Structure 1
Amino acid sequence: MKKIILCLSAITLIAFTSCKDDATKKIEEANVTAAALRDADATKFPKLEFNETEYDFGDIPKGTPVSTVFTYKNTGNAPLVITDIKSTCGCTVPEDWSREPLAPGKTGKFTVTYNASGPNKITKTITVSANTESGSEMVKITANVIDPNTK
């Protein structure tokens, strides 16, 4: 009896699955074209190119804030969106960047202020998060902080 029920179940399953419509007939050509265009655009990225990737303040006195401006250009073929700019510590503050999309060929800028709190040679990295292919780019600042009270 179990064999009969199992055979009938198998035959019923085969009958139901073989009666389905051909799924390829349900594909609309407009959707295929739209998907191909979307996939082609997915390979287009903005490219963030800096005028300089490292700025040296030289010798600066301890406790004196100094600033520089990093200028960048979108050399890619899609709008560039900078989502965040962070530094490696609180003594380095990036500010004044546009959160609006930057068209290909256009330029932008942001300011980095460093508060020289400790003596010696420093290097600070600033990470720019954007919709580029790599997702982030880096610039650096360096300085030689001199303590005027040290002889």
Structure 2
Amino acid sequence: MKRIFIVFAMLIACVSMTMAQEKQASIKFEKINYNFGKFSEKEPVQKCVFTFVNQGTAPLVINQAIASCGCTIPSFTKTPIKPGEKGEIKVTYNGRGTFPGHFKKTITVRSNGVTELTRLYIEGVMEEAK
């Protein structure tokens, strides 16, 4: 009877250890802030790229990238990113029709990673055209 109990306990321990090592994706951005600096109202469209790597053990999928304003448009890698590989989120800011001055916008990224939600920030100063 003791042997059956010991074998059963070892089986449970092995199963729980296997479940604890479940594969998961993990997103890691090189940077989460981008500053355009100063630019003229004559050239209101500015672009940047946020690069990330999947540091997990499962494929990473970006579910959505949503900007806090209609003047900011993110586009992202649609295919799953394998462990160790890189992906990118391209952001276009269009200041046409907005007032000159400082701006700061947020891009909310949702993924299947351990950290499901990440916020990226862009900012800059659009100077009045002279």
Q: TM-score, normalised by structure 1?
A: 0.67
- Tell me the equivalent position of 1:87: 67
Residue matched to 2:6: none
Aligned identity (percent) is: 32
- Residue 41 (structure 1) shift: 5.2
Aligned residue pairs total 114
Q: What is the TM-score normalised by the length of structure 2?
A: 0.77
Deviation at 1:146, TM superposition (A): 1.0
CA deviation digits over 1:7-39, x for unaligned, max 9?
Answer: xxxxxxxxxxxxxxxxxxxxxxxxx9xx85883
Gaps of 5+ in 1: 1-31
Aligned to 1:77: 57
d(CA) in 1 for partners of 2:99, 2:26: 35
Q: What is the alpha-carbon distance in structure 1 between the residues aligned to residue 18 and residue 69 of structure 2?
A: 40
Q: In the aligned structure 2, how far is the partner of 1:130 from the partner of 1:41? A: 20
Q: Which runs of 4+ in 1 moved over 4 A?
A: 35-38
Within 5 Å, give how 1:51-66 maps onto structure 2: 51-62=30-41, 64-66=44-46
Q: Report which of the two has the higher share of strand.
A: 2
SS class of match (2:20): helix
Aligned-partner Cα distance in 1 for 2:104–2:62: 23
SS at match of 1:39: helix
Q: Which amino acid aligns with 2:70?
A: G
Give the equivalent residue in structure 1 for 2:26: 47
Match of 1:134 among 94, 115, 120: 115
Greater relative contact order structure (CA < 8 Å, 6+ sep): 2
RMSD: 2.1
Contact 2:71 2:93 in 1 (8 A): yes
**Correspondent of 1:120 among 72, 89, 101:** 101
3-state SS, counterpart of residue 80 of structure 1 = coil
Check whether the contact 2:27–2:115 (CA below 8 A) recurs between aligned residues.
no
